[in-house]
Amino acid sequence: MKYGCSLEMVNMLTSSLNFIYKQSKSFWVDYFKFIAAAGFKGIELPFNPFGGDPMAFETGRCGIPLSAGAIQAKYGSPDEFLAFLNDVGIEKVVSIHMNANDVQLEANVRGYSRKLYFELLEEMGLAAVAHAASLKAECLVVSPSPELGWLNKYGIAEDDVEFEDATVVVLNTVAKAAKGAGIALALKAEYWSFFRGKRLAGLQNSVAGALMAPDLAHLQIAGDPVTAVVKAHAHETACLHLCDTAFKDTVGNYARINAEIPVDGAQKVFCDLGEGDVDLLGAMKALKDSGYDGWVIAEQRKTPDVYRGLLKMRWFIDHEIEKKLGEA
């Protein structure tokens, strides 16, 4: 298995010391070097092509490489960006992650309607395919729905068949474009997603050629049997997200807006690898036993120190995963 690192572990949407430096190209240039120094040869990049949502505007106009425009403005071109990554020791952009919740936020600003939402979802999906192709990525990871909290706000119930069907139509269009570009489309369901639980498998069956990108922390919070899910879908997994959590959603937070920022109950949703209670070793053993030889994307969302986070991640993978799998 090959290990990559998700850039979403650098959380731009929170208050923290020196947060503004993380908006500069300087930070990212150094951070890519540190990712390589920590032994990660691949990366997953977040993607947001919009600028109407004020947070998207703020994060899209600086050195954060989260859109084609940012790559162009700050790194010259996709080819120059890839050459830079190669030069510092990162072999490839493994995957691009698009999140339908970003579509929802953009639609909110433009005057939400269901029609507008799906138009923007398709726009984002096709732009993500083009972006992934320009960066020679293997995979487009798709979080296929906004937060249930937003859906509830706009009258979309958890059994809304029309919403599900319209999502399938758009994702098939995106999947067709991805296939044409030689890119795998993989689905990832967050614990706050319309498609959480067994519903994601149904969506996968309805989207031609779609693979899976299971996220261990989200599976655990949603109450899914993590290792069993990984084992069941190992043969159709494009990349696995190695994430940890100790969070227990005891107040129905999954159905609220900003589900990853709980106001009530426990508030810290994600934690560094090994500090939660996900059976990471069990899940990875199931993956290995299935013969999986693809990418594992490690991620410590909202880790408080993004530099120390890289070292902790590498140590955990080497000593608590790889070494023990070798001994098993």
Partner 1 sequence: MGNLKFSYQTNMWGLKVQYPKLSDWNEWYKGDFSNSVYYLDWDQILKYHVGAGFTGIELMFHMQPYIEQFFGEPQAFTAFAQERGIEAVTGTFAIAFNSQDKSRRKEALDALQTNIDFTADLGGHVINVMPCGGYYGLGPLSKEQVTNAAEFMNEFGRRCNEKGITPCVHTEFWGAINKADLFPYIEQLDQKYVGFCLDTAQVLIMGYDPVKFYDDYHDFVKFFHLKDTTFAYTPDELRLCAGAEFQDNGDRWFWELGAGQVDFKGIWKLLKKYGYKGWIGLETDGTPDPMATMLLSKYYINHELLPIYE
* Residue (251 or 328) nearer to partner 1, CB: 251
Instruction: Give 311's Cβ-side CA count (13 Å radius).
Output: 4
What distance in Å separates the CA atoms of residue 43 and residue 36, rounded to the nearest whole number?
10
Please, are residues 92 and 42 in contact by the beta-carbon 8 Å criterion?
A: yes
* Residue (16 or 205) nearer to partner 1, CB: 16
Pick the binder of partner 1 from 3, 27, 117, 270 (CB under 8 A). Answer: 27
Task: Give ∠ CA 194-13-167 in degrees, rounded to 5.
Answer: 25
- Give, as one character, the DSSP assignment of residue 116: H
Asked if 315 interacts with partner 1 (CB under 8 A), we say no
CB of 1 to partner 1, least distance (A): 27
DSSP strand E in the chain: where?
Answer: 2-6, 42-47, 92-99, 139-143, 184-187, 211-212, 239-242, 295-298
Site for partner 1 in 96-125 (CB under 8 A): 105, 108
Asked if 176 interacts with partner 1 (CB under 8 A), we say no
What distance in Å separates the CA atoms of residue 2 and residue 41, rounded to the nearest whole number?
8
Asked if 206 interacts with partner 1 (CB under 8 A), we say no
Asked if 74 interacts with partner 1 (CB under 8 A), we say yes
> Considering CB under 8 A, how many residues would be counted as binding partner 1?
42
CB of 12 to partner 1, least distance (A): 6
* Residue (297 or 306) nearer to partner 1, CB: 306
Asked if 78 interacts with partner 1 (CB under 8 A), we say no
User: Taking contact as CB under 8 A, which single stretch among the options 21-29, 173-181, 290-298, 317-325 is the one that binds partner 1?
Assistant: 21-29
CA dihedral sign of residues 302, 307, 308, 312: positive
Burial 201-228 (b: 16+ CB within 10 A, else e): bebbeebeebbbbbbbbbbbbbebebbe
CA dihedral sign of residues 28, 174, 191, 288: negative
User: Taking contact as CB under 8 A, which single stretch among the options 60-68, 199-207, 223-231, 289-297 is the one that binds partner 1?
Assistant: 60-68
Asked if 21 interacts with partner 1 (CB under 8 A), we say yes
CB of 292 to partner 1, least distance (A): 30
Please, are residues 151 and 163 in contact by the beta-carbon 8 Å criterion?
A: yes
* Residue (17 or 161) nearer to partner 1, CB: 17
Pick the binder of partner 1 from 2, 39, 41, 73 (CB under 8 A). Answer: 73
Asked if 304 interacts with partner 1 (CB under 8 A), we say yes
Asked if 47 interacts with partner 1 (CB under 8 A), we say no
User: Taking contact as CB under 8 A, which single stretch among the options 32-40, 62-70, 233-241, 288-296 is the one that binds partner 1?
Assistant: 62-70
CB of 126 to partner 1, least distance (A): 23
For 113, 224, 251, 261, the CA distances from 265, given in Å and listed in that order, are 32, 21, 7, 11
Number of H helices, E strands in the chain: 14, 8
Residues 6+ apart with CB under 8 A from 191: 218, 219, 221, 222, 249, 254, 259
Which of 170, 158, 185 is CA-nearest to residue 239?
A: 185
- Give, as one character, the DSSP assignment of residue 45: E
Site for partner 1 in 254-293 (CB under 8 A): 257-258, 261, 263-268, 271-272, 275
CB of 303 to partner 1, least distance (A): 9
CB of 113 to partner 1, least distance (A): 16
Q: What residues make contact with partner 1 under the rule CB under 8 A? A: 12-21, 23-27, 54-55, 57-59, 61-63, 70, 73-74, 105, 108, 257-258, 261, 263-268, 271-272, 275, 304-305
